[in-house]
Amino acid sequence: MAQDLTGKVALVTGASSGIGEAAALALAKVGVLVAVSGRRKARLDSLVTRITAEGGKGLALPGDVSVEAEASKAVTDTVAHFGRIDILINSAGVNEAGGIETLTTEQWHRVIDINLMGTIYSCKAAFPLMKAQGAGDIVNISSTAGRRAGWIFAAYSTSKFGLTGFTEALRQEGGTQGIRVSIVEPGATATEISTSISDPKWREAIQQHTHNENAMESSDIADAIMLALQLPRRANVTRILVQPTTDVAAMP
């Protein structure tokens, strides 16, 4: 029997587009009060308008998760507005193309600071609040690049492999406190992440890869997130790998 999420409070990072946006809409549809975070305020405001128009409740919290103070503030502002935080979806992410000889250290920092450190900052702020409540759900959005590395996306794979390790450690730490921790690893999904790649050749290549007719939609990944959240609390879906049906390559 699916767990009723009505009245729960969620914070979704990276909610101005893609998987984060789809997750926020899916949560609001089942009665979750949703705070949405991201760097593009106008898009967040538009998302909250959509949520409200469909009878839900939303809160726009513009900010950059790669800045610890801003990531922490999104959590505290969510609690200040809604009174608690039950669900944290870490979806903020960027990509970059290049290897050790071509990427600058600034590019490495940008990818790792947003994809990995931003998640750590948000979790660090939310975890003690969930612990005090005796329950909570944290879902971190990774990628198949967190299972299978490729040198041309070295920084991205590094950030996602790191996210896998962090998520498992957090799951172990939170399990006895009633905090469920999950990681979702999507394959090719039609999102805007390719726009963060500075090399125009690889930006176009990834755009074609993620927007071909066989690629998944952000709503498909949102459905996977909802599956993890709606199971009875005795069950923790720790890791979900979601691939396009036509992707038949073996995965680790």
Quickly state the pLDDT bin for 62 (edges 50, 70, 90): very high
Residue type, 20: G
Total residues found in the chain within this entry: 252
Token pair for 148? 């299978």
pLDDT digits (tens, 9 = 90+) for 174-225: 999 999 999 999 999 999 888 888 888 888 888 888 888 989 999 999 999 9
Radius of gyration over every alpha carbon of the chain, rounded to an integer in angstroms: 17
Q: Where along the chain do its domains lie? A: 9-242
- Rounded Cα distance between 242 and 189, Å, is 10
Q: What is the DSSP code string of 186-250?
A: E-SB-SSGGGG--SHHHHHHHHHHHTSTTSBPHHHHHHHHHHHHHS-TT----EEEE--TT----
**228 close to 23: Cβ distance less than 8 angstroms:** no
DSSP H helices, the chain, are: 18-29, 41-53, 68-82, 105-112, 118-133, 154-175, 200-210, 218-230
The per-residue pLDDT of the chain, averaged, comes to: 96
State the fold for domain 9-242: Rossmann fold (3.40.50)
CA-wise closest residue to 13 among 163, 115, 144, 129: 115
Is 121 known to be catalytic? no
Token pair for 156? 């991205």
Name the pTM for this structure.
0.95
pLDDT of residue 202: 81
Question: Which of 156, 182, 194, 229 is an active site residue?
Answer: 156
